[in-house]
Structure 1
């Protein structure tokens, strides 16, 4: 087990080209889940948890780790399952999402697997936990479920999606006001957060659930006019998506003549270290950590004006 934990801690800086590394874990049952290693700061045996008044029922307590107080969320309870009872033998995955650090209580941690984004697929319809999944993949003939962590976090502590009055009053996209802002994100919560922030500014929105769906639709739009920027002003894309990630989507756009003028803003819940060299390599125009509506609105205005 110590080898697994050491490996996680050493590899959190790594971003692959259309490649994904998943840390596999279990909650209460046999089902295995995965979390992107790039989001993980460290994994450790669950330390003593301190109860605090008025905590959300899904938060089992707080842990004091390396001088920082971290809320610990029971992932089993958060996805509609039973609480993890044996905390002493459980583990905490310390991860960074949306500019904050959280601890996720899990029953056990297994190993890291390497796979490609095109092997990560949208979740099947009709499964009981489907509303908490962003993707699935298969490992050794077993389905691995990838949780929509942004949805879980938003249910516990909803993010403000309103653009401030000060920023809203300064937004002026001029002649580009009638152009579509295209959003690509596998999390329904994240898509709706972006949509709410930008539609409040009077902007038109179109959305896709992953990079492949976004690319296909952008090519359809381009086929109507010859250049996608005749109709689309800016693409706001997540990086981590099933079938095709945001890096690959950006590279495809910049290498396709009828799409390459489109400004791409990469928008990800990873809010710490990210691979700036990778962002530059694929030709993205901007990078914004989720989720700050004022920063998003300002960036969209900036790139609309440069169309």
Structure 2
């Protein structure tokens, strides 16, 4: 299994071209699921686990990996399925989401496939807000399900959505701003909106890059000056149809969108993303999800926006 992720660092050229690679895996039965390779640090045989008293039922235990203690989560049970065997069989996908490292127990790892983001589709209508799918795609005549890991982690680990006392600037509360929020995860969209609500900022929500670009285009058709209508755009990177890098690139190429402030807000982290921010012309990168940091970044931008309008 060590060879399946060999050379993943050389795959970074896919980003910015609306492409990604999915690591496919199985839980129970033949259904295959996918996870973005960029979020995967390594794949290993299930290591010995240390049990945690009174842990969440999805928590299999803790593993000691490369000098680090990592929680191992049963992703099958996390999406409401049967628990996977905890007898040392199976594999662990060690991943980095939202500034933390964790392992996901799976029964079998299949392969890596190269896809265009335009081949990644939103979940079928009718799946509902309780669905654990963030996207689907087709491969070899089968439907591949991409799991909303952020939703699973929020349910297991939780997460504070409240901005700390003293962070909110009262002057921002007294001003009027409108922000476009772009994210394919309903959980992530609502987390960001909750922060903006506390800042007194109006938000329009878009479910992916294509949806966001269509909303921007519609506002232009209505005669809106986007530079006066929108204070900023907060966008995820990984999204069906059109990713955040491609959205930013298309905005920079459009004469009426090119000056909009773009903050890329993603569970992907690392130096690579800082480099991609510069490459595609975004203004800032911020790793998910820290309410105080997001609130601070938004307020810094809004102060700058107000100062420019007043000049």
Instruction: Answer yes or no: is the 8 Å Cα contact 1:221–1:231 preserved in 2.
Output: no
1:18 aligns with 2:18: yes
| Partner Cα separation in structure 2 for residue 69 and residue 15 of structure 1 | 31
User: Does structure 1 retain, via aligned residues, the 8 Å contact 2:120–2:137?
Assistant: yes
1:100-125 deviations in Å (ceiling 9; x for gaps): 10110001001110011111110112
Query: Cα RMSD over matched residues?
Result: 2.0
Of residues 296-305 and 132-141 in structure 1, the stretch that sits farther from structure 2 once superposed is 296-305
> What is residue 202 of structure 2 aligned with on the other side?
204
1: CA distance between counterparts of 2:10 and 2:129? 29
Shift of 1:243: 0.2
Unmatched runs of 5 consecutive residues or more in structure 1: none
Q: 1:236 matched to which residue of 2?
A: 234
Residues 277 and 2 of structure 1: is their aligned pair in 2 closer, same or farther, counting only changes over 3 Å? Answer: closer
SS in 1 for 2:136: strand
Q: How far 1:222 sits from its partner (Å)?
A: 2.3
Instruction: Tell me, in whole angstroms, the C-alpha distance in 1 between the residues paired with 2:276 and 2:223.
Output: 31
Report what 2:309 is aligned to.
none
Instruction: Please tell me whether the aligned partners of residues 25 and 110 of structure 2 are also in contact (alpha carbons under 8 angstroms).
Output: yes
Q: Displacement of 1:277 after TM fit?
A: 2.5
**CA deviation map 1:128-158 (0-9, x unaligned):** 9971011011111111100000000000011
Structure 2 gap segments, 5+ residues each:
306-311
Q: Deviations over 1:187-246 (max 9, x none)?
A: 000000000011011111110100000110011122223421221111100000000000
**Structure 1, 247-256 or 119-128: larger mean CA deviation:** 119-128
The answer as to 2:193 corresponding to 1:191 is no
Instruction: State the Cα distance separating 1:301 from its structure 2 match.
Output: 1.7
Q: Report the secondary structure of 1:243's partner residue.
A: coil
- How far is the alpha carbon of 1:5 from its aligned partner? 4.5
Q: Give yes or no for the alignment of 1:252 onto 2:245.
A: no
Q: 1:171, 1:263 → 2: CA distance?
A: 22
Tell me by how many angstroms 1:11 deviates: 5.5
- Equivalent position of 2:47 in the other structure: 47
Alignment correspondent of 1:98: 98
The reply on whether 1:224 has 2:240 as its aligned counterpart is no
- State the number of aligned residues: 304
Q: Kindly indicate whether residue 102 of structure 2 is the aligned counterpart of residue 63 of structure 1.
A: no
Tell me: CA distance 1:74–1:7, structure 2 relative to 1, closer, same or farther (3 Å).
farther
Please report how far the alpha carbon of residue 288 of structure 1 lies from its aligned counterpart in structure 2 after TM superposition.
0.3
The 1:2–1:100 alpha-carbon spacing in structure 2 relative to 1, beyond 3 Å, is: closer
Give the match's secondary structure for 2:53.
coil
Q: Give the alignment of 1:62-211 within 5 angstroms.
A: 62-85=62-85, 87-127=87-127, 131-168=131-168, 170=169, 172-173=171-172, 177-211=175-209
